[in-house]
Structure 1
């Protein structure tokens, strides 16, 4: 039995589909079963609740061969440590009884800025707590997601501009969530691995935001440009949109760390490069969203 947390999110929902297509038995933890993808509820075991609840996790993890662990960081949390390690503490004891855990993490460990990287620093601390339980653990360490660009499909379509705090000329890895899900699914069904390791998932190439804009322009057939916004303004926008001061600062710290090389600590290899190019993702995901 494979347990999936956050099964309605971008990554978790694709992990569920991948496992079901492979014929694996799946159990999900979900607050609202109605939010599961059509047809999924009838093909999986459903435990209703949050994986921040120790009783829910204890029930869901009972007899589990593997667990997919993803923390949906609460944008209104009191701080990044509470959003990650605080959330995970309820599940740590239950993890000791499962066969293996695959978690969603982030690049940055070992870089000079890893200790001041907001969300990423908190994520790495959570990984350490999971590893300390003794459960075999694979932390999938990711750069930024291509899919984050789709959140700005509206501005791209209406004004031809997308925004962010990243330096426009900074070339960095980016990965499609469907490739993350594929790696996670493969590890979840593989019963041969043990121990604790980080597994970088880098996408196929490094691109700058300006290069992404050029690709989007080509795919959409209309001019699109990237506009950098100051980190302070980025933080203020998050607060205006309902994020707590502490979590907004965590996002700002992560953005600053990425500009300072957070995602450049891992050498790209064929093993850690995934197949979906940014152009392919634009054609198959972003273009339909914009149009």
Structure 2
């Protein structure tokens, strides 16, 4: 039995599709089962509730071999530990009491690179907590998601601009949520791996925000430009949208760390490169969102 958390999210729903397509038994933890497609509810077991709740995870993990773990966003959390390690605490206890063998977790690049990287630092601490339970653990070590650009669809469509606090020419890896899900499904269906390890998903190329603006302009058939904002302005924009101080500060620290080399330590190889190019992602995901 494979337990899948966040089954309605951008990554989780693709993990569900991959596991069910392979014919593997799946159990889904979801706050509201009505958000699942009817065909998924028919083919998978469903446990309603939060995977941060001790009773919910004890029920969901009973008899399970493997768990897909993703800590959901909590924009109003008072600390980053509340989002990651404290949220994962009940599950870590249930991994032990329910005899879970393997966990595949959504994590981040940057282990051992920089000491203060906001959300990344907190994510890596959660990895340590999970691995410390004794389960076999694989952390999907990820850079920035291409899909995050969907959060700026309105400004891209209406103003022809997107924003970040990174230098325009700073080249960094990015990856698509579809490729993250594919990497997760491969691990979830493979019962042979043991111990602890990281599985980087780096995309096929490093791109700067100027590169991204050029590709978006070509795909959309209209000019899109990149506008850099200060880290302070970036943080203030998060606060203005209702994000908590701790959360906004963590995002700001992460951006600074990425500028300073957080995502550069892992080389791109045939094993760490994922297939979806940013141009392909724009054609298939961004273009319908902007022009549709």
The TM-score, its normalising length taken from structure 2, stands at: 0.97
Secondary structure at the counterpart of residue 140 of structure 2: strand
Q: Deviations over 1:94-142 (max 9, x none)?
A: 112112000000000011x2x2111000000000011111100000010
Match of residue 110 from structure 1: 112
Match of residue 215 from structure 2: 215
- Greater CA drift, 12-21 or 35-44: 35-44
Residue from 100, 103, 113 that aligns with 1:101? 103
- Asked whether the 8 Å contact 1:143–1:174 carries over to 2, the reply is yes
Match of residue 185 from structure 1: 185
Q: CA deviation at 1:38?
A: 4.5
Alignment of 1:68-107 (within 5 A): 68-96=68-96, 97-107=99-109
- Greater CA drift, 35-44 or 81-90: 35-44
In 2, distance between residues paired with 1:167 and 1:267? 21
- Say whether 1:206 aligns with 2:190: no
Q: Deviations over 1:27-74 (max 9, x none)?
A: 000011111234211111000100111110011001111100000131
In 1, distance between residues paired with 2:4 and 2:216? 33
Give the aligned length: 289
Secondary structure at the counterpart of residue 39 of structure 2: coil
In 1, distance between residues paired with 2:5 and 2:51? 7
Which ranges of 4 or more aligned residues in structure 1 deviate by more than 2 Å? none
Secondary structure at the counterpart of residue 141 of structure 2: strand
- Say whether 1:128 aligns with 2:128: yes
- Asked whether the 8 Å contact 1:110–1:265 carries over to 2, the reply is no
The TM-score, its normalising length taken from structure 1, stands at: 0.98
- Asked whether the 8 Å contact 1:51–1:57 carries over to 2, the reply is yes
Secondary structure at the counterpart of residue 82 of structure 1: helix
Secondary structure at the counterpart of residue 263 of structure 1: coil
Match of residue 280 from structure 2: 280
Q: Deviations over 1:149-180 (max 9, x none)?
A: 12111111111101111211110100000000
In 1, distance between residues paired with 2:165 and 2:231? 5
Secondary structure at the counterpart of residue 46 of structure 2: strand
Match of residue 245 from structure 1: 245
Alignment of 1:58-73 (within 5 A): 58-73=58-73
In 2, distance between residues paired with 1:167 and 1:144? 15
Match of residue 21 from structure 1: 21
Match of residue 267 from structure 1: 267
Secondary structure at the counterpart of residue 40 of structure 1: helix
In 2, distance between residues paired with 1:191 and 1:117? 33
Q: Which runs of 5+ in 1 are unaligned?
A: none
In 2, distance between residues paired with 1:23 and 1:154? 39
Match of residue 57 from structure 1: 57
Q: Which runs of 5+ in 2 are unaligned?
A: none
Secondary structure at the counterpart of residue 233 of structure 2: helix
Match of residue 147 from structure 1: 147
Secondary structure at the counterpart of residue 243 of structure 1: coil
